Structure 1
Amino acid sequence: MFGLKACLSGGLLLLGAAVTEAKYIVPGARWRDTDGNLVNAHAGSVVLDNGKFWWFGEYKVQGQEEGGGVSVYSSPDLATWTYHGLALEPVNGHPYIAPEMIIQRPKVVYSESTGQYHMWWHADNSSYGLLLQGFATADTIEGPYSFVDATAPLGNWSQDFGMFTDYKDGRTYALYSNGDRREGRDVYLTSYNKEVTGLDEVVYRFDKFDLEAPTILQTDKSYYALMSHKTGYRPNNVVAFRADRLSGPWSQPWIVAPLNTRTFNSQSGFTLRIKGNRKTTYLYLGDQWDSNSLWESRYIWLPITIDDAKKTLEVEWHDVYDLDVKSGKWQPIQGREYLAIDAKTSGNAFKQEANFASRGTIVTGIEGNDSTVTFSGIQGTGKPQWVSFYYQNTDDMGFGDQPGGSPDRIGGSWQLRRIASVVVNGNAENVETLYQRDTHKGIILSTPLQLTLEKGSRNTITVGGLFNGFHYKGADIDRIVVYPPEN
């Protein structure tokens, strides 16, 4: 067997009776571990080992873009995460894993031949001048992992890195884009040797699509490869390819989420196939990068719908959903909507016609504490509840105090986000911060906060603006959705 055990990277996850029911998964929320700290595992991968999920990702240090090492978390349900420290720790003065070096997109697989866990990643320097793949090993899945080598795969460049294990024969493959230079805009699919200690041959090359962040998802009949366009930390429309065999031929790419949502402001990175005892579920594990504070970038984990007969794949948005990893079944949680057309505005905030908005109206002009929108009559339970704020952020249109103007203009820049204040029941001493990523003209997306509302229907939620480096404006508000508590 090629790297096959109870855990499969990017492949089939077989669930045992020890795995418990999942709590809610809330894409784009602040995910916290069992100690209450923010989960810090970016651009990572998830594997299953002895009935427990293990999540490896880039550890981002506040104020430092790279070099934090690789963190590891465990979970029984893909929703409750326990931190186990750094699986791969930076070493001062090391030529490849020093704090100033790049350790990106870590992936882990078990090697039957060596009896060890193998970690691979994109290894580089701060100028992306090395373009190598790093390799480390450990005797236990949580590590610590010991550095072995950093090499050029079969003599090629290697940038964004992915890994896939075929659940039918257990063989493991590497996926990697080979640089940003004109002659290096391909993505390679390359098989590992039996020991998963090195690559042996290129199975397929995706030519000249200029893509990165690759991952492969396998069904009983097809293989689907998901990849992102090269726009740095700015999100874009992720695309998918399909094939009957890994060696191809592969289809033309298509966009996997509604156009201009930029894949719900996320970048592809990994996919899971969870075969429960009642249903097989596929998950898209994306990153919602925040270049202003990479350490707090969010995670966008969403269900994937696949129709092998029609040869289609689509990533579905749900604010809140419940996944039972034992059965493999998931269901969206239903919330109660409160529309901006029914809310009260103050100051310069006003209701404006918008044929794409709820009942044709959106609230704009939300600035600081003087110009706000307040939703009233909100039903609460007295327990923490998720509230999704549906908004439009048209910073891609450009405005006077934004240097460079719009990214849709020549020489334009990307503002990335607005920041809003959220106050419950007029308690100005307890202000929550809501990050509202750029959407596009006429595109409404949502972002969640967990709020505690008093029991009953006399709650209010007020949205204002906070300073984000350019202005005090919040995004335009369409509606909010209040969800029931988890317990």
Structure 2
Amino acid sequence: MASWLLYLFSTIVLAQAAVIVPGASWTDTEGNIIQAHGGGFLKVASTYYWFGEDKVLDSTLFHAVSCYTSTDLETWTRESDALTPISGTMISTSDVVERPKVIFNTMNSEYVMWFHSDTSNYGAAMVGVATAKTPCGPYTYKGSWKPLGADSRDEGLFLDDDGTAYLLYASDNNQNFKISMLDTNYYNVTEQVSVLTGATLEAPGVIKRDNVYYLIASHTSGWDPNPNKVFTASSLAGPWSTQVDIAPEDTNTYYSQNAYDMPLGTNGIYMGDRWDVSALGSSTYIWFPLSWASGLPVIVKADVWNVNLATGTYTVATGTTYEAESGTLGGSAVLLTDSSYSGGQAVGFLGDGGTLTLDIIGIGEAQWVSLYYANGDSTWRNTTLSVNGGANVVVQQPSSGGGHVIQSVPVKVTLKNGANTLTFSSGQASFAGDLDKIIVYTTA
């Protein structure tokens, strides 16, 4: 009986841990930070495969295309690398391999990977292709080239219902966006089917729903985020609609850039990257539900959520909100007043002597806390957080897009059952973001 109770408890803990927390540092089943940036996804039977850029060396240069597996999209296991460098080729450690995407060719019973293949100065602007007989490979590199003789930088793949595959890519020095059909082997492109002239788009993905194609992409702003857009068409050949935001424009897609877009029942999942150019390997993942309730895909902002693959639905966790102005201000911290803040107020001049103390209620275990803040700088800020007088942890705060634009970042802390005291920005010389509120979640 004791062993059964231990098993039941362990199962409950694992179930509680299986949530999606955008912006957190996600770890695999071995406890290592997931390295799968600019990712692509493939489902084989009941298993999902996540391919991405391993940026553990904090470099733009090629280290590996990683491969992770999951049956729930929430718990991921790292497998053997799908693609590794080959000296003397366009996939050496001196070159760039980005945004790997894999599709399955039923005619050849073969997995085909496409990726952005480039030199270290991004001057080559090519695609690369590799193939394997199993999802994680290892993949055999076939070569790199310019599709139809034109540039290809950020790219994606789309496999239509009839088995026809398409390359989605930024072309002509990122001045035009193109869609080209692949051959029956998925080894090369055969013809250009659509071009969005003058559309400076990158990081593309397509979802097909009720015979309508939804193209989601960002504009070009380097590693910095911008408002990602959606375009619609009844055919991949177009004509394409004018662009529409998938999130409030001033949030810059909640400080993220699109990587992949996955159908989920009548909904979808936006899968993006929050790039940290100063430490690429520490860049995090921003996944949100996509809802068509308004007729077009719109991101559902969720600090903590989970997905039910069997029903094609998602659940957004609810938490307890504590307004920053309800706490105790210390040092040079001041109250700020503006309609953009929850409750009309926030606390500013945190850090450099300014502190805030909030009393909250915990449930006696590790809990997610989401910090809502404004950082009008173009660079990142951070805040320290101490729980019940313990050691400070540092929470990164990317630019929010303006001094009155609110973003959120998560941090996991262990709280006592009952009353707890959180202290923000104590002992830090730099300024933190202005704190609007926090939300404490009971979902671990």
TM-score, normalization by structure 1: 0.85
Residue type at the aligned position of 2:196: F
Compute the displacement of 1:258 (Å).
0.6
Could you tell me how far 1:221 is from its partner in structure 2? 3.0
Q: 1:208 aligns with which of 192, 198, 217?
A: 198
For 1:123, the equivalent position in structure 2 comes to 117
Indicate the residue corresponding to 2:407 in structure 1: 445
1:438 maps to amino acid:
S
Query: Secondary structure of the residue that 2:79 maps to in structure 1?
Result: strand
How far apart are 1:22 and its partner, in Å?
A: 9.3
Q: 1:421 aligns with which of 374, 384, 389?
A: 384
Change (3 A) 1:63 1:22: closer
Residue 167 (structure 2) aligns with: 174
The 1:236/1:426 distance shift into structure 2, 3 A limit, reads same
Query: How far 1:95 moved relative to its partner?
Result: 2.0
Please list the CA deviations of residues 280-309 of structure 1 after superposition, one character each: whole Å capped at 9, or x if unmatched: 3301111111111111111111111125xx
SS of 1:260 mapped into structure 2: helix
Q: Take 2:319 and 2:165, find their aligned partners in 1: how far apart are those partners?
A: 41
- Measure the CA separation in 1 of the matches of 2:214 and 2:437: 35
CA RMSD of aligned residues (A): 1.7
Q: Does 1:95 align with 2:57?
A: no
Partner of 1:31: 26
Change (3 A) 1:40 1:31: same
The answer on whether the counterparts of 1:304 and 1:315 sit within 8 Å (CA) in structure 2 is: yes
State how far apart, in whole Å, the 2-side matches of 1:21 and 1:465 are: 31
Identity among equivalent positions (%) equals 34
Partner of 2:258: 268
Question: Residues of 1 paired with 2:295 and 2:438: CA distance?
Answer: 35
Write out the 4+ residue segments of structure 1 that deviate beyond 4 Å after TM superposition.
Answer: none
In structure 1, C-alpha distance between the alignment counterparts of 2:78 and 2:319, rounded to whole Å: 31
Residue 371 (1) aligns with residue 354 (2): yes
Residue by residue over 1:183-210, the C-alpha shift from the partner in whole angstroms, topping out at 9 and shown as x without a partner, is x511111111111111111111111021
The amino acid that maps onto 1:201 is: E
CA 1:22–1:283 in 2, change beyond 3 Å: closer, same or farther? farther
Tell me how far apart the structure 2 counterparts of residues 255 and 50 of structure 1 sit (CA, whole Å). 34
Q: Distance in 1 between matches of 2:251 and 2:207?
A: 22
- 2:211 is equivalent to residue 221 of structure 1: yes
Contact 1:111–1:196 (Cα < 8 Å) also in 2? yes
Other structure's SS at 1:263 match: helix
Unpaired runs of at least 5, structure 2: 1-14
Equivalent position of 2:223 in the other structure? 233
Higher relative contact order (CA 8 A, sep 6+): 1
Contact conserved, 1:384 with 1:453, CA < 8 A, in 2? yes
Which residue does 2:136 correspond to in 1? 142
Distance 2:255 2:70 in 1: 26
Which of 65, 77, 82 aligns to 2:60? It is 65
Q: 1:295 aligns with which of 264, 277, 281?
A: 281
Task: Find out whether 1:199 has 2:189 as its counterpart.
Answer: yes
Q: Rate the CA distance shift 1:286–1:465 in 2: closer, same or farther, 3 A.
A: farther
Please tell me the residue identity of whatever aligns with 1:434.
Answer: V
Pairs aligned (count):
429
Alignment counterpart, residue 269 of structure 2, candidates 283, 297, 301: 283
Q: Is the 8 A contact 1:419 1:465 kept in 2?
A: no
Equivalent pair of 1:237/1:255 in contact (CA under 8 Å): yes
**What residue in structure 1 maps to residue 6 of structure 2?**
none
Q: Does 2:123 match 1:165?
A: no
The separation in 2 between residues aligned to 1:441 and 1:477, in whole angstroms, is: 11
Q: Which amino acid aligns with 2:269?
A: L
Matching of residue 79 in structure 1 with residue 74 in structure 2:
yes
Give the deviation of 1:24 after TM superposition: 1.4
C-alpha distance in structure 1 between counterparts of 2:262 and 2:233, whole Å:
18
TM-score, normalised to structure 2's length? 0.93
State the 1:23 CA deviation: 2.5
**Distance change (3 Å), C-alpha of 1:204 and 1:424:** same
Residue 333 of structure 1 aligns with which residue?
317
State whether residues 150 and 172 of structure 2, in contact with CA within 8 Å, keep that contact through their aligned partners in structure 1: no
Q: 1:311 to 1:245 in 2, by over 3 A?
A: farther
Q: Equivalences for 1:392-431 in 2 at 5 Å? A: 392-395=374-377, 414-415=378-379, 417-427=380-390, 430-431=391-392
Q: Is the 8 A contact 1:138 1:144 kept in 2?
A: yes
After superposing the two structures, state which structure 1 stretch, 266-275 or 474-483, moved more: 266-275
Quick check: 2:264–2:313 contact (8 Å CA) kept in 1? no
State the shift of 1:62 in Å: 2.9
Deviations 1:201-229 (A, max 9, x none): 11111110211111111102311101111
CA–CA separation in structure 1 for the residues paired with 2:312 and 2:16: 10
SS in 2 for 1:24: coil
Aligned to 2:4: none
Q: How far is the alpha carbon of 1:465 from its aligned partner?
A: 6.3
Distance 1:311 1:454, change over 3 A: closer
8 Å CA contact retained: 2:317, 2:443: no
Residues 217 and 34 from structure 1, CA distance in 2 versus in 1: closer, same or farther, beyond 3 angstroms?
Answer: same
Q: Select which of 412, 433, 436 maps to 1:475.
A: 433
Unaligned runs of 5+ in 1: 1-19, 396-413
Q: For 1:33 and 1:463, how far apart are their aligned partners in 2?
A: 29
Q: Which amino acid aligns with 2:381?
A: R
Kindly provide the amino acid, as one letter, of the partner of residue 27 in structure 2.
R
Please say if residues 187 and 207 of structure 1, whose CA atoms lie closer than 8 Å, have aligned partners that are also in contact.
yes
Q: Quick one: which amino acid aligns to residue 349 of structure 2?
A: G
